[in-house]
Amino acid sequence: MATVMGEILELIQACAAGDLTARRQFQDEYGEDIYNFPVKIYRLPLDEAGDFYLYVFENDRIFTRMATFAGRNNIQFRTFLSYYVLKHLFLEWRRTQKEVDTVSLSTPLGGSSEGGQVLEDVLPDQSTQEAEEAIASESREANAIWAALTPEDRLDLKLLSLIECDLTPEDVRLLAKATGRSIQETLAVVAEVQEGLKRKDERISQLRDDLDSVWGWILLRQKELQEITEKIRRMGETPNATTGKLLQKKQELEQALVKRSRQKEKTLEELRSYKLTTPYKDIARLLNLTVGTVCSRIFRLRERLTREFGEAVAC
């Protein structure tokens, strides 16, 4: 497991640094997940999934976002990719979508003197230096925001993302002081909450695998149903033994598809109900406060972050 995680972290770092070979490897391994994400989770039409895919990779958005992955607390990268990176990028893409006139990258240029070039051939590629500068700029901005927070605010943000954030000894001492617990008791409560979050992560991974399986089955059977329907159409209206068998097969497939579609919806519903942020009831337990107090506390922190630093950094 450690070796696999090490390889993933190396791949992520190489992608963030602009290594083209690493980026091709990443697209080979995770491209299908990224393309299918909005279709499976948000029921986006397939013809729009390509637009989302382009948005994700445009300006190195995905590489910048996933550079924060550190594999803490054994969180699985595919879970992080789907529920931290792709989910946020999808919502961001939806917010910024506008109806604009577009020009295909395959549009031919000028006359015959252009030698058959298309628009894509002359558009400049973003250089590795530009990508590194963008990542460095975001890192500086994040560090500046973090430095402006009080220790209590930082602790609240870490508790909200406890599956991905480790508490420092200073955080543990601050939490123990705020709750009146001993260091030992504080560590025990944190470990219990983290264990619950890990189980949730494992459940999400299982649900994602189930969704992939049923979704693939549905696509195959839909194709099979189309083929049978076409065969019946070509055979005309004259009934015969073959037609009867095909009609029976068609009915069985339709019934099976209804059943599997319900299974898919049930799995999707459960997936959407999961959040990888720490539940407020667990944060309340960690801080030895009521859930209502924690809700107000997080709400005020979000409001202040939005007011001072903009919507993009609100927790």
Q: What per-residue confidence (pLDDT) applies to 269?
A: 84
Q: What per-residue confidence (pLDDT) applies to 113?
A: 46
Length of the chain: 315
**Which residues have a Cβ under 8 Å from the Cβ of 199 and sit 6 or more positions away?**
none
pLDDT (tens digit, 9 = 90+) per residue, 223-242? 888 998 888 888 877 667 78
Q: What per-residue confidence (pLDDT) applies to 277?
A: 82
**Which residues have a Cβ under 8 Å from the Cβ of 254 and sit 6 or more positions away?**
225
Q: Could you tell me the residue ranges of all domains in the chain?
A: 1-96+134-148, 150-315
CA–CA–CA angle 164, 312, 203 (5° rounding):
35
Q: Across the strands, what pairs with 118?
A: 108
Both tokens assigned to 275: 């959040």
Handedness of CA 274, 277, 278, 281 (dihedral sign): negative
Q: Are 118 and 4 in contact (CB under 8 A)?
A: no
Q: Across the strands, what pairs with 288?
A: none
Q: Interhelix angle for 20-42 vs 183-234, to 10°?
A: 80
**Alpha carbons 264 and 105: distance in angstroms, whole number:** 36
CA-to-CA separations, 33 to 106, 149, 212, 217, 261, in angstroms, rounded: 26, 36, 9, 16, 20
Q: What per-residue confidence (pLDDT) applies to 51?
A: 83
Q: What per-residue confidence (pLDDT) applies to 176?
A: 95
**Alpha carbons 251 and 240: distance in angstroms, whole number:** 17
Q: What per-residue confidence (pLDDT) applies to 170?
A: 94
Both tokens assigned to 110: 């000028």
CA-to-CA separations, 86 to 77, 131, 301, in angstroms, rounded: 12, 19, 24
Using the CB atoms, write b or e for 117-128: b if 16+ within 10 Å: eeeeeeeeeeee
**Which residues have a Cβ under 8 Å from the Cβ of 228 and sit 6 or more positions away?**
246, 249, 250, 253
Closest listed residue to residue 94, CA positions, set 127, 48, 57, 131: 48
Q: What per-residue confidence (pLDDT) applies to 306?
A: 79
Q: Are 200 and 274 in contact (CB under 8 A)?
A: yes
Region for 43 from its dihedrals, namely left if φ exceeds 0, alpha if ψ lies in -120 to 50, beta otherwise: left
Q: What per-residue confidence (pLDDT) applies to 192?
A: 93
- Give every residue of the chain whose pLDDT is below 50, as ranges: 1-2, 99-105, 109-114, 119, 122-128, 131, 312, 314
pTM equals 0.54
Q: Are 67 and 120 in contact (CB under 8 A)?
A: no
CA-to-CA separations, 70 to 57, 220, 279, 280, in angstroms, rounded: 21, 37, 22, 24
